[in-house]
Amino acid sequence: MAKPSFLGLLLIAPALIMIGALFLYPLGFSLAAAFTEPGGGLSLTHFQKAYELYSTDILFTLFIVVVSTLLTGLFSIVIAGILTLSETPWLIATLRNLYRWPLFIPFIVAAQCMRTFLAKNGLMNNSFVALGLMEPIQTTSFLDWRGIIITFVWKQVPFVTLMLAGAMASIDRATIEAGRNLGASRLRVLVELVLPQVAQTLLVGLVLSFVTMLSVLSVPMMVAGSQPTMLTVDMAFRINSYGDYATANALGVISYFMAGTVAWIYLRHNVKREVQA
């Protein structure tokens, strides 16, 4: 093994310092603050308060993010599968041109659009009414948990699809051809031949989506009312209205815990694969 050169260390020093100063230090600080009581000793009082005030919101956040991640995975597999296996050229061309658009739209803009699109008398319901599919009295507002999930899925599907379609394009086509020649349906080829080969990429995409959705503030704030709401909104409220960083930090630790769990699943999977290889 080569000795670490001084010059090499110097080269990565700026990056290390940035990570240390802008990420590790604040992370450690907020972790410490979450477990420290006003007097200075270690305590769980902030977690107790976070639980008393926001236990519903913690479950709500978990529910929203898990459901959104599963739906994102499902839609991404369908779109990427069509792009890879479909034999209808115009369908592929249309899908390929359309599916990336939401990637370029920020969460806050998406939230603003959904706010008028999904409202009770919003664009979507008004279109249904105008088409005669619905009576005005039957319309319901989707501006609650469903609105958040719809926005998240709409926003994250292109991201995961982009990764997944790329991975599917690079697998050995011979495996697909072989399956088709032996009479397997395209669905069976997708599920039994293609998906196992790209499962790793799918997992990465979904883990990244999970963590992204966990941290979005604008969507739950703008799309849904505040009861129940996601942890990001509660954290912002604790800080903005009370300057109560301790409880906000406790909520943050709970978020780290959720994100950490999926990261752990991902890492474990990765290590297992490396051991096999």
Tell me if 143 contacts another protein by CB under 8 A.
yes
> Which of residues 242, 268, 271, 272 is near another protein by CB under 8 A?
242
Maximum alpha-carbon separation in the chain: 75
- Structure tokens, 101: 């658009």
Binding mask 218-237 for another protein (x = CB under 8 A): ---xxxxxxxxx---xx-xx
172 phi/psi in degrees, rounded to 5: -65, 115
DSSP state, residue 243? -
Tell me if 138 contacts another protein by CB under 8 A.
no
- Distance CA(65)–CA(88), nearest Å, equals 34
Q: Which candidate, 244, 257, 248, 250, places its Cα nearest to that of 214? A: 257
- Distance CA(193)–CA(151), nearest Å, equals 31
Tell me if 127 contacts another protein by CB under 8 A.
no
Residue 89 burial (C-beta neighbours within 10 Å; 0-12, 13-18, 19+): exposed
> Least distance in Å: CB of 244 to another protein?
10
Helix (H) or strand (E) holding 235: helix 231-237
Tell me if 55 contacts another protein by CB under 8 A.
yes
Tell me if 52 contacts another protein by CB under 8 A.
yes
36 phi/psi in degrees, rounded to 5: -105, 135
- Structure tokens, 132: 């005669």
> Which of residues 47, 54, 75, 159 is near another protein by CB under 8 A?
54
> Which of residues 30, 36, 45, 141 is near another protein by CB under 8 A?
141
Stretch that binds another protein, among 39-47, 115-123, 161-169, 191-199 (CB under 8 A): 115-123
| Cα–Cα distance list, 171 to 176, 196, 199, 201 (Å) | 9, 11, 12, 12
> Least distance in Å: CB of 57 to another protein?
7
Q: Which residues within the stretch 151-210 sit at the binding site for another protein (CB under 8 A)?
A: none
Stretch that binds another protein, among 8-16, 117-125, 248-256, 259-267 (CB under 8 A): 117-125
Tell me if 240 contacts another protein by CB under 8 A.
yes
Give the residues lining the site for another protein (CB under 8 A).
52-57, 115, 119-122, 141, 143, 221-229, 233-234, 236-237, 239-243
